[in-house]
Amino acid sequence: MLNTLVPGQVSLETLQAVYDGRIIPKLDTVCMDKVEQSARRIAEILSGNEAHYGINTGFGKLASVRIPTEDVETLQRNLILSHCCGVGTPLPDNVVRLIMTLKLISLGRGASGVRPQVIKVLAAMLEKNLLPIIPGQGSVGASGDLAPLAHMTAAMIGEGMVKFDGDILPATIGLAKSGIQPIVLAAKEGLAMINGTQTSTALALAGLFRAHRGLAASLISGALSTDAAMGSTSPFSHEIHALRGHAGQADTASVLRALMEGSAIRESHAKNDDRVQDPYCLRCQPQVAGACLDLLRQAAHTLTIEANAATDNPLVLSDGSVVSGGNFHAEPVAFAADQIAIAVCEIGAIAQRRIALLVDPTLSYGLPAFLTPRPGLNSGFMIAEVTSAALMSENKQMSHPASVDSTPTSANQEDHVSMACHGARRLIQMTSNLFAIIGIETLSAAQGIDLRAPLKTSPALASLHDVVRSAVPMLGDDRYMADDLHMAADLVESGRLVAATPATITAEIALCARL
Protein backbone atom coordinates (compact mmCIF):
# COMPACT_ATOMS: atom_id res chain seq x y z
CA MET A 1 0.00 0.00 0.00
CA LEU A 2 1.39 3.40 -1.01
CA ASN A 3 1.60 6.03 1.71
CA THR A 4 2.34 9.70 1.12
CA LEU A 5 5.11 11.29 3.17
CA VAL A 6 5.08 14.99 3.97
CA PRO A 7 8.71 15.88 4.80
CA GLY A 8 8.96 17.41 8.25
CA GLN A 9 5.68 15.83 9.36
CA VAL A 10 6.25 12.08 9.11
CA SER A 11 5.01 10.29 12.22
CA LEU A 12 6.64 7.54 14.22
CA GLU A 13 3.71 5.26 13.36
CA THR A 14 4.39 5.76 9.65
CA LEU A 15 8.07 5.00 10.10
CA GLN A 16 7.20 1.79 11.93
CA ALA A 17 4.81 0.82 9.13
CA VAL A 18 7.68 1.26 6.65
CA TYR A 19 9.96 -0.85 8.84
CA ASP A 20 7.32 -3.57 9.19
CA GLY A 21 6.72 -3.60 5.42
CA ARG A 22 3.08 -2.56 5.74
CA ILE A 23 3.34 0.49 3.46
CA ILE A 24 5.39 1.66 0.47
CA PRO A 25 6.36 5.29 1.05
CA LYS A 26 6.16 8.02 -1.59
CA LEU A 27 6.86 11.72 -1.25
CA ASP A 28 4.14 14.34 -1.36
CA THR A 29 4.60 16.09 -4.73
CA VAL A 30 4.08 19.49 -3.07
CA CYS A 31 7.64 19.33 -1.75
CA MET A 32 9.07 19.22 -5.28
CA ASP A 33 8.81 23.00 -5.71
CA LYS A 34 11.42 23.54 -2.99
CA VAL A 35 13.51 20.68 -4.35
CA GLU A 36 13.60 22.31 -7.79
CA GLN A 37 14.42 25.74 -6.33
CA SER A 38 17.41 24.43 -4.42
CA ALA A 39 18.63 22.48 -7.47
CA ARG A 40 18.48 25.66 -9.57
CA ARG A 41 20.51 27.47 -6.94
CA ILE A 42 23.25 24.82 -7.15
CA ALA A 43 23.26 25.15 -10.94
CA GLU A 44 23.69 28.93 -10.59
CA ILE A 45 26.66 28.49 -8.28
CA LEU A 46 28.25 26.01 -10.65
CA SER A 47 28.06 28.52 -13.49
CA GLY A 48 29.80 31.19 -11.39
CA ASN A 49 33.37 31.69 -10.23
CA GLU A 50 32.97 31.45 -6.44
CA ALA A 51 34.19 28.31 -4.68
CA HIS A 52 31.53 26.40 -2.72
CA TYR A 53 32.29 23.30 -0.69
CA GLY A 54 31.25 20.05 -2.30
CA ILE A 55 29.86 21.78 -5.38
CA ASN A 56 33.07 22.77 -7.14
CA THR A 57 35.65 21.73 -4.54
CA GLY A 58 37.02 18.51 -3.12
CA PHE A 59 35.75 17.04 0.13
CA GLY A 60 36.86 16.95 3.77
CA LYS A 61 40.53 17.84 4.04
CA LEU A 62 40.55 18.36 0.25
CA ALA A 63 37.98 21.18 0.40
CA SER A 64 40.57 23.72 -0.76
CA VAL A 65 41.04 21.95 -4.11
CA ARG A 66 38.99 23.68 -6.83
CA ILE A 67 37.33 21.37 -9.37
CA PRO A 68 36.74 22.51 -13.00
CA THR A 69 33.09 22.58 -14.09
CA GLU A 70 33.66 19.90 -16.72
CA ASP A 71 34.84 17.49 -14.01
CA VAL A 72 31.92 17.94 -11.60
CA GLU A 73 30.04 14.79 -12.67
CA THR A 74 33.23 12.77 -12.37
CA LEU A 75 33.83 14.32 -8.95
CA GLN A 76 30.43 13.16 -7.70
CA ARG A 77 30.83 9.67 -9.13
CA ASN A 78 34.32 9.34 -7.67
CA LEU A 79 32.99 10.50 -4.31
CA ILE A 80 30.48 7.64 -4.22
CA LEU A 81 32.88 4.97 -5.44
CA SER A 82 35.69 6.02 -3.08
CA HIS A 83 33.34 6.03 -0.10
CA CYS A 84 32.02 2.51 -0.73
CA CYS A 85 34.25 1.14 2.02
CA GLY A 86 31.67 -0.68 4.13
CA VAL A 87 32.50 -4.04 5.66
CA GLY A 88 30.65 -6.70 7.61
CA THR A 89 27.25 -8.34 7.34
CA PRO A 90 24.76 -6.51 5.09
CA LEU A 91 21.97 -4.66 6.86
CA PRO A 92 18.54 -6.35 6.97
CA ASP A 93 16.06 -5.51 4.22
CA ASN A 94 13.66 -3.68 6.55
CA VAL A 95 16.47 -1.45 7.79
CA VAL A 96 17.56 -0.72 4.20
CA ARG A 97 13.99 0.27 3.28
CA LEU A 98 13.92 2.58 6.28
CA ILE A 99 17.28 4.15 5.31
CA MET A 100 15.98 4.86 1.80
CA THR A 101 12.76 6.31 3.21
CA LEU A 102 14.61 8.59 5.60
CA LYS A 103 16.81 9.83 2.77
CA LEU A 104 13.69 10.59 0.72
CA ILE A 105 12.27 12.61 3.61
CA SER A 106 15.53 14.52 4.08
CA LEU A 107 15.89 15.34 0.39
CA GLY A 108 12.22 16.32 0.31
CA ARG A 109 12.89 19.18 2.73
CA GLY A 110 14.25 21.03 -0.31
CA ALA A 111 17.54 22.11 1.25
CA SER A 112 19.89 19.57 -0.34
CA GLY A 113 20.22 20.93 -3.87
CA VAL A 114 19.46 17.67 -5.69
CA ARG A 115 17.37 17.49 -8.83
CA PRO A 116 13.93 15.84 -8.70
CA GLN A 117 15.34 13.02 -10.88
CA VAL A 118 17.49 11.81 -7.99
CA ILE A 119 14.49 11.57 -5.71
CA LYS A 120 12.49 9.80 -8.41
CA VAL A 121 15.13 7.09 -8.84
CA LEU A 122 15.32 6.45 -5.10
CA ALA A 123 11.51 6.42 -4.83
CA ALA A 124 11.22 4.00 -7.76
CA MET A 125 13.70 1.62 -6.16
CA LEU A 126 11.64 1.65 -2.96
CA GLU A 127 8.38 1.11 -4.80
CA LYS A 128 9.78 -1.86 -6.75
CA ASN A 129 11.62 -3.24 -3.70
CA LEU A 130 15.01 -2.96 -5.39
CA LEU A 131 17.24 -2.81 -2.33
CA PRO A 132 20.94 -1.89 -2.28
CA ILE A 133 23.25 -4.25 -0.42
CA ILE A 134 24.64 -2.10 2.40
CA PRO A 135 27.42 -3.48 4.61
CA GLY A 136 26.68 -2.72 8.25
CA GLN A 137 30.06 -1.42 9.41
CA GLY A 138 32.13 1.59 8.47
CA SER A 139 30.38 4.71 9.78
CA VAL A 140 31.54 6.72 12.81
CA GLY A 141 28.34 8.76 12.79
CA ALA A 142 29.68 12.12 11.68
CA SER A 143 30.10 13.89 8.35
CA GLY A 144 27.22 11.58 7.58
CA ASP A 145 26.96 7.82 7.55
CA LEU A 146 29.36 8.01 4.64
CA ALA A 147 30.21 4.40 3.83
CA PRO A 148 26.73 2.85 4.17
CA LEU A 149 25.02 5.71 2.34
CA ALA A 150 27.64 5.48 -0.41
CA HIS A 151 26.69 1.83 -0.93
CA MET A 152 23.04 2.88 -1.17
CA THR A 153 23.88 5.60 -3.70
CA ALA A 154 26.19 3.34 -5.69
CA ALA A 155 23.21 1.17 -6.59
CA MET A 156 21.44 4.24 -7.97
CA ILE A 157 24.30 4.90 -10.40
CA GLY A 158 24.61 1.24 -11.39
CA GLU A 159 27.47 0.20 -9.14
CA GLY A 160 27.64 -2.37 -6.37
CA MET A 161 25.05 -5.02 -5.63
CA VAL A 162 21.30 -5.06 -5.06
CA LYS A 163 18.59 -7.48 -3.96
CA PHE A 164 15.64 -7.94 -6.31
CA ASP A 165 12.99 -10.67 -6.20
CA GLY A 166 15.08 -12.48 -3.62
CA ASP A 167 18.22 -12.56 -5.79
CA ILE A 168 21.51 -10.75 -5.19
CA LEU A 169 22.48 -9.08 -8.47
CA PRO A 170 24.90 -6.47 -9.82
CA ALA A 171 23.14 -3.11 -9.61
CA THR A 172 23.16 -2.62 -13.39
CA ILE A 173 21.21 -5.86 -13.84
CA GLY A 174 18.83 -5.12 -10.96
CA LEU A 175 18.06 -1.66 -12.33
CA ALA A 176 17.44 -3.09 -15.80
CA LYS A 177 15.16 -5.85 -14.49
CA SER A 178 13.12 -3.34 -12.51
CA GLY A 179 12.92 -0.86 -15.40
CA ILE A 180 14.82 1.92 -13.66
CA GLN A 181 17.42 4.04 -15.43
CA PRO A 182 20.59 4.66 -13.37
CA ILE A 183 21.14 8.29 -12.44
CA VAL A 184 24.17 10.38 -13.45
CA LEU A 185 24.91 12.55 -10.44
CA ALA A 186 25.24 16.29 -10.97
CA ALA A 187 26.91 18.93 -8.77
CA LYS A 188 26.54 18.27 -5.01
CA GLU A 189 24.19 15.32 -5.51
CA GLY A 190 26.66 12.65 -4.44
CA LEU A 191 27.55 14.67 -1.37
CA ALA A 192 23.86 15.20 -0.54
CA MET A 193 23.26 11.46 -0.73
CA ILE A 194 26.07 10.39 1.61
CA ASN A 195 25.99 13.28 4.08
CA GLY A 196 23.28 12.55 6.62
CA THR A 197 22.33 10.40 9.59
CA GLN A 198 19.89 8.11 7.81
CA THR A 199 21.72 4.81 8.48
CA SER A 200 22.24 5.56 12.16
CA THR A 201 18.67 6.79 12.52
CA ALA A 202 17.17 3.78 10.72
CA LEU A 203 19.13 1.37 12.92
CA ALA A 204 18.14 3.30 16.05
CA LEU A 205 14.48 3.24 14.99
CA ALA A 206 14.72 -0.50 14.36
CA GLY A 207 16.19 -0.91 17.84
CA LEU A 208 13.45 1.28 19.29
CA PHE A 209 10.61 -0.69 17.68
CA ARG A 210 12.15 -3.99 18.78
CA ALA A 211 12.87 -2.73 22.30
CA HIS A 212 9.29 -1.55 22.71
CA ARG A 213 8.00 -4.93 21.61
CA GLY A 214 10.30 -6.56 24.17
CA LEU A 215 9.04 -4.21 26.89
CA ALA A 216 5.41 -4.97 26.12
CA ALA A 217 6.12 -8.71 26.14
CA SER A 218 8.01 -8.36 29.43
CA LEU A 219 4.87 -7.00 31.10
CA ILE A 220 3.04 -10.13 29.97
CA SER A 221 5.81 -12.47 31.13
CA GLY A 222 6.18 -10.43 34.33
CA ALA A 223 2.48 -10.71 35.11
CA LEU A 224 2.58 -14.46 34.42
CA SER A 225 5.62 -14.77 36.70
CA THR A 226 3.98 -12.77 39.47
CA ASP A 227 0.93 -15.03 39.37
CA ALA A 228 3.02 -18.20 39.11
CA ALA A 229 4.98 -17.10 42.18
CA MET A 230 1.74 -16.17 43.99
CA GLY A 231 3.02 -12.63 44.20
CA SER A 232 0.99 -9.71 45.45
CA THR A 233 -0.70 -7.21 43.15
CA SER A 234 -0.90 -4.58 45.88
CA PRO A 235 2.35 -2.93 44.69
CA PHE A 236 0.60 -2.23 41.37
CA SER A 237 -2.07 -0.10 43.06
CA HIS A 238 -2.93 3.04 41.08
CA GLU A 239 -2.43 5.45 43.99
CA ILE A 240 1.11 4.27 44.72
CA HIS A 241 2.21 5.29 41.23
CA ALA A 242 0.12 8.46 41.12
CA LEU A 243 1.94 9.59 44.25
CA ARG A 244 5.26 9.35 42.42
CA GLY A 245 4.09 10.85 39.15
CA HIS A 246 6.19 9.19 36.44
CA ALA A 247 4.03 8.48 33.39
CA GLY A 248 5.75 5.25 32.37
CA GLN A 249 5.50 3.87 35.89
CA ALA A 250 1.78 4.56 36.08
CA ASP A 251 1.16 3.15 32.62
CA THR A 252 3.03 -0.12 33.18
CA ALA A 253 1.37 -0.60 36.57
CA SER A 254 -2.01 -0.20 34.89
CA VAL A 255 -1.14 -2.92 32.37
CA LEU A 256 0.02 -5.30 35.11
CA ARG A 257 -3.20 -4.72 37.07
CA ALA A 258 -5.35 -5.35 34.01
CA LEU A 259 -3.48 -8.52 33.09
CA MET A 260 -3.86 -10.03 36.56
CA GLU A 261 -7.45 -8.97 37.22
CA GLY A 262 -9.59 -11.93 38.31
CA SER A 263 -6.84 -14.45 39.04
CA ALA A 264 -7.86 -17.28 41.38
CA ILE A 265 -4.17 -17.83 42.11
CA ARG A 266 -3.99 -14.20 43.22
CA GLU A 267 -7.03 -14.64 45.45
CA SER A 268 -5.47 -17.72 47.04
CA HIS A 269 -2.36 -15.67 47.81
CA ALA A 270 -4.42 -12.93 49.44
CA LYS A 271 -6.14 -15.43 51.76
CA ASN A 272 -3.33 -17.82 52.68
CA ASP A 273 0.06 -16.15 52.21
CA ASP A 274 1.90 -14.83 55.27
CA ARG A 275 4.65 -13.11 53.24
CA VAL A 276 4.86 -9.39 53.89
CA GLN A 277 6.70 -8.32 50.75
CA ASP A 278 7.76 -9.82 47.44
CA PRO A 279 11.30 -9.52 46.05
CA TYR A 280 12.00 -6.42 43.97
CA CYS A 281 11.82 -8.26 40.63
CA LEU A 282 8.08 -8.73 41.27
CA ARG A 283 7.25 -5.75 43.45
CA CYS A 284 9.19 -3.08 41.55
CA GLN A 285 8.16 -4.02 38.02
CA PRO A 286 6.33 -0.71 37.38
CA GLN A 287 9.26 1.32 38.68
CA VAL A 288 11.77 -0.47 36.42
CA ALA A 289 9.67 -1.15 33.32
CA GLY A 290 8.09 2.29 33.63
CA ALA A 291 11.46 4.02 33.72
CA CYS A 292 12.47 2.01 30.65
CA LEU A 293 9.26 3.04 28.90
CA ASP A 294 9.97 6.69 29.67
CA LEU A 295 13.46 6.30 28.18
CA LEU A 296 12.06 4.69 25.05
CA ARG A 297 9.50 7.47 24.68
CA GLN A 298 12.21 10.09 24.99
CA ALA A 299 14.29 8.28 22.36
CA ALA A 300 11.20 8.05 20.13
CA HIS A 301 10.76 11.81 20.35
CA THR A 302 14.39 12.44 19.37
CA LEU A 303 14.35 9.95 16.51
CA THR A 304 11.07 11.27 15.07
CA ILE A 305 12.62 14.74 14.86
CA GLU A 306 15.78 13.33 13.30
CA ALA A 307 13.82 11.27 10.77
CA ASN A 308 12.24 14.48 9.46
CA ALA A 309 15.46 16.50 9.40
CA ALA A 310 17.67 17.80 6.60
CA THR A 311 21.06 16.47 7.69
CA ASP A 312 23.43 16.84 4.75
CA ASN A 313 26.00 19.58 4.10
CA PRO A 314 26.13 22.24 2.79
CA LEU A 315 22.46 23.21 2.88
CA VAL A 316 20.58 25.57 0.57
CA LEU A 317 18.81 27.99 2.92
CA SER A 318 15.53 29.82 2.29
CA ASP A 319 17.31 33.02 1.22
CA GLY A 320 19.29 31.15 -1.43
CA SER A 321 22.54 31.09 0.51
CA VAL A 322 24.47 27.83 0.61
CA VAL A 323 25.98 27.34 4.06
CA SER A 324 28.24 24.66 5.52
CA GLY A 325 27.13 23.41 8.92
CA GLY A 326 27.14 20.22 10.93
CA ASN A 327 23.66 18.69 10.79
CA PHE A 328 25.30 15.43 9.70
CA HIS A 329 26.74 14.96 13.20
CA ALA A 330 24.64 12.19 14.74
CA GLU A 331 25.08 13.03 18.43
CA PRO A 332 21.30 13.14 19.10
CA VAL A 333 20.95 9.70 17.50
CA ALA A 334 23.91 8.34 19.47
CA PHE A 335 22.35 9.51 22.74
CA ALA A 336 18.99 7.99 21.77
CA ALA A 337 20.67 4.69 20.88
CA ASP A 338 22.45 4.64 24.23
CA GLN A 339 19.17 5.29 26.04
CA ILE A 340 17.53 2.42 24.18
CA ALA A 341 20.47 0.13 24.99
CA ILE A 342 20.21 0.92 28.70
CA ALA A 343 16.47 0.25 28.66
CA VAL A 344 16.91 -3.06 26.80
CA CYS A 345 19.54 -4.13 29.30
CA GLU A 346 17.35 -3.35 32.30
CA ILE A 347 14.21 -4.95 30.89
CA GLY A 348 16.18 -8.16 30.45
CA ALA A 349 17.96 -7.87 33.80
CA ILE A 350 14.80 -7.74 35.91
CA ALA A 351 13.14 -10.45 33.79
CA GLN A 352 16.13 -12.71 34.38
CA ARG A 353 15.76 -12.27 38.14
CA ARG A 354 12.12 -13.36 37.88
CA ILE A 355 13.25 -16.53 36.06
CA ALA A 356 15.79 -17.14 38.82
CA LEU A 357 13.05 -16.69 41.43
CA LEU A 358 10.72 -19.19 39.75
CA VAL A 359 13.29 -21.99 39.55
CA ASP A 360 14.41 -21.51 43.17
CA PRO A 361 12.14 -23.42 45.60
CA THR A 362 13.24 -21.20 48.48
CA LEU A 363 11.68 -18.18 46.71
CA SER A 364 8.89 -19.52 44.48
CA TYR A 365 6.41 -20.26 47.26
CA GLY A 366 5.72 -23.94 46.76
CA LEU A 367 6.80 -24.55 43.19
CA PRO A 368 9.09 -27.57 42.70
CA ALA A 369 12.82 -27.03 42.14
CA PHE A 370 13.56 -25.89 38.58
CA LEU A 371 9.87 -26.12 37.76
CA THR A 372 9.93 -29.85 37.04
CA PRO A 373 7.35 -32.22 38.56
CA ARG A 374 10.14 -34.74 39.29
CA PRO A 375 13.27 -32.79 40.34
CA GLY A 376 16.43 -34.81 40.61
CA LEU A 377 15.61 -37.26 37.86
CA ASN A 378 14.82 -34.20 35.74
CA SER A 379 16.65 -30.86 35.58
CA GLY A 380 13.68 -28.92 34.21
CA PHE A 381 14.43 -25.25 33.63
CA MET A 382 17.85 -25.34 35.33
CA ILE A 383 19.91 -24.55 32.24
CA ALA A 384 17.26 -22.41 30.56
CA GLU A 385 17.78 -20.07 33.52
CA VAL A 386 21.55 -20.23 32.99
CA THR A 387 21.06 -19.30 29.32
CA SER A 388 18.98 -16.29 30.35
CA ALA A 389 21.78 -15.24 32.71
CA ALA A 390 24.33 -15.51 29.90
CA LEU A 391 22.20 -13.34 27.61
CA MET A 392 21.61 -10.81 30.38
CA SER A 393 25.33 -10.52 30.99
CA GLU A 394 26.04 -10.15 27.28
CA ASN A 395 23.58 -7.25 27.10
CA LYS A 396 25.21 -5.61 30.10
CA GLN A 397 28.55 -5.67 28.30
CA MET A 398 27.00 -4.17 25.15
CA SER A 399 25.10 -1.44 27.00
CA HIS A 400 28.20 0.71 27.60
CA PRO A 401 27.45 4.07 25.93
CA ALA A 402 28.85 4.45 22.43
CA SER A 403 28.31 8.20 22.42
CA VAL A 404 31.12 8.88 24.90
CA ASP A 405 33.66 7.44 22.47
CA SER A 406 35.23 9.48 19.69
CA THR A 407 38.21 9.29 17.42
CA PRO A 408 39.48 11.88 14.93
CA THR A 409 39.15 10.94 11.24
CA SER A 410 39.88 12.44 7.82
CA ALA A 411 43.27 13.91 8.75
CA ASN A 412 41.74 15.61 11.83
CA GLN A 413 39.19 17.57 9.80
CA GLU A 414 36.47 15.45 11.40
CA ASP A 415 37.92 15.46 14.88
CA HIS A 416 34.86 14.61 17.00
CA VAL A 417 32.43 11.90 15.95
CA SER A 418 29.30 10.40 17.51
CA MET A 419 29.71 6.64 16.97
CA ALA A 420 25.94 6.59 16.46
CA CYS A 421 25.91 3.97 13.74
CA HIS A 422 27.40 1.06 15.64
CA GLY A 423 25.76 2.35 18.82
CA ALA A 424 22.44 1.81 17.05
CA ARG A 425 23.43 -1.37 15.20
CA ARG A 426 24.19 -3.23 18.47
CA LEU A 427 20.51 -2.80 19.39
CA ILE A 428 19.59 -5.53 16.90
CA GLN A 429 21.68 -8.09 18.78
CA MET A 430 20.70 -6.74 22.18
CA THR A 431 16.99 -6.99 21.40
CA SER A 432 17.47 -10.51 20.01
CA ASN A 433 18.99 -11.41 23.38
CA LEU A 434 16.08 -9.70 25.12
CA PHE A 435 13.51 -11.64 23.09
CA ALA A 436 15.19 -14.88 24.17
CA ILE A 437 15.23 -13.83 27.84
CA ILE A 438 11.54 -12.88 27.74
CA GLY A 439 10.78 -16.10 25.90
CA ILE A 440 12.47 -18.12 28.65
CA GLU A 441 10.58 -16.20 31.31
CA THR A 442 7.31 -16.77 29.47
CA LEU A 443 7.93 -20.54 29.37
CA SER A 444 8.99 -20.60 33.02
CA ALA A 445 5.98 -18.62 34.13
CA ALA A 446 3.58 -20.70 32.03
CA GLN A 447 5.07 -23.81 33.64
CA GLY A 448 4.50 -22.28 37.05
CA ILE A 449 0.88 -21.49 36.18
CA ASP A 450 0.40 -25.12 35.08
CA LEU A 451 1.88 -26.35 38.34
CA ARG A 452 -0.62 -24.23 40.34
CA ALA A 453 -3.58 -26.23 38.99
CA PRO A 454 -6.39 -26.55 39.85
CA LEU A 455 -6.07 -22.84 40.73
CA LYS A 456 -6.56 -20.71 37.63
CA THR A 457 -4.86 -17.55 36.51
CA SER A 458 -6.74 -14.44 35.29
CA PRO A 459 -8.84 -14.53 32.10
CA ALA A 460 -6.37 -12.25 30.30
CA LEU A 461 -3.36 -14.31 31.32
CA ALA A 462 -5.18 -17.57 30.62
CA SER A 463 -5.66 -16.58 26.99
CA LEU A 464 -1.98 -15.62 26.74
CA HIS A 465 -1.03 -18.90 28.42
CA ASP A 466 -3.00 -20.67 25.68
CA VAL A 467 -0.98 -18.85 23.03
CA VAL A 468 2.23 -20.06 24.67
CA ARG A 469 0.94 -23.61 24.95
CA SER A 470 -0.12 -23.63 21.30
CA ALA A 471 3.58 -23.24 20.46
CA VAL A 472 5.31 -25.10 23.31
CA PRO A 473 3.72 -27.84 25.47
CA MET A 474 4.17 -28.05 29.21
CA LEU A 475 7.48 -29.60 30.27
CA GLY A 476 7.04 -32.97 31.99
CA ASP A 477 10.11 -35.15 31.83
CA ASP A 478 13.24 -33.56 30.40
CA ARG A 479 13.37 -33.14 26.62
CA TYR A 480 15.49 -31.36 24.03
CA MET A 481 14.82 -27.74 25.03
CA ALA A 482 16.58 -25.64 22.39
CA ASP A 483 13.55 -25.83 20.10
CA ASP A 484 11.25 -24.75 22.93
CA LEU A 485 13.41 -21.71 23.64
CA HIS A 486 13.55 -20.82 19.96
CA MET A 487 9.76 -21.00 19.64
CA ALA A 488 9.27 -18.89 22.75
CA ALA A 489 11.70 -16.22 21.54
CA ASP A 490 9.88 -16.15 18.20
CA LEU A 491 6.55 -15.59 19.98
CA VAL A 492 8.09 -12.44 21.43
CA GLU A 493 10.04 -11.24 18.37
CA SER A 494 7.19 -11.82 15.91
CA GLY A 495 4.82 -9.85 18.12
CA ARG A 496 2.35 -12.73 18.36
CA LEU A 497 2.45 -12.72 22.16
CA VAL A 498 1.72 -9.00 22.40
CA ALA A 499 -0.87 -9.21 19.61
CA ALA A 500 -2.83 -11.72 21.70
CA THR A 501 -3.21 -9.13 24.46
CA PRO A 502 -6.42 -7.05 24.37
CA ALA A 503 -5.70 -3.69 22.71
CA THR A 504 -7.39 -1.92 25.61
CA ILE A 505 -4.56 -3.14 27.82
CA THR A 506 -1.55 -2.48 25.57
CA ALA A 507 -2.79 0.94 24.38
CA GLU A 508 -1.55 2.49 27.61
CA ILE A 509 2.08 1.72 26.85
CA ALA A 510 2.21 3.11 23.30
CA LEU A 511 5.53 4.70 22.37
CA CYS A 512 3.90 7.97 21.35
CA ALA A 513 1.83 8.33 24.49
CA ARG A 514 2.57 11.35 26.70
CA LEU A 515 5.49 12.62 24.62
Q: Is 280 a catalytic residue?
A: no
Cβ contacts of 489 within 8 Å, gap of 6 or more: 432, 435, 436, 438, 439
Cβ contacts of 147 within 8 Å, gap of 6 or more: 83, 84, 85, 86, 135, 137, 138, 139
The Cα 443–Cα 475 span in angstroms is: 9
One of 19, 53, 280, 480 is an active-site residue; which one? 53
89's enclosing H/E stretch is strand 87-90
The Cα 79–Cα 58 span in angstroms is: 9
The Cα 145–Cα 58 span in angstroms is: 18
- Length of the chain in residues, anyone? 515
Kindly report the backbone phi and psi dihedral angles of residue 315, in degrees, each rounded to the nearest multiple of 5, phi listed first.
Answer: -115, 145
What is the identity of the amino acid at 397? Q
Cβ contacts of 65 within 8 Å, gap of 6 or more: 57, 58
Q: Cα dist. 165→91, 126, 147, 160 in Å?
A: 17, 13, 25, 17
Name the DSSP class of 4: E
User: For residues 182-192, b (16+ Cβ closer than 10 Å) or e, as one string?
Assistant: ebebbbbbbbb
Kindly report the backbone phi and psi dihedral angles of residue 26, in degrees, each rounded to the nearest multiple of 5, phi listed first.
Answer: -140, 150
The Cα 218–Cα 281 span in angstroms is: 12
DSSP 303-332: HHHHHT----SSEE-TTS-EE---TT--HH
With contact defined as beta carbons under 8 Å apart, do 189 and 318 qualify?
no
CB count within 10 Å of CB 50 equals 8
Cβ contacts of 192 within 8 Å, gap of 6 or more: 107, 112, 113, 114, 118, 312
The Cα 445–Cα 355 span in angstroms is: 8
The Cα 84–Cα 79 span in angstroms is: 9
Q: Which residues are designated catalytic?
A: 53
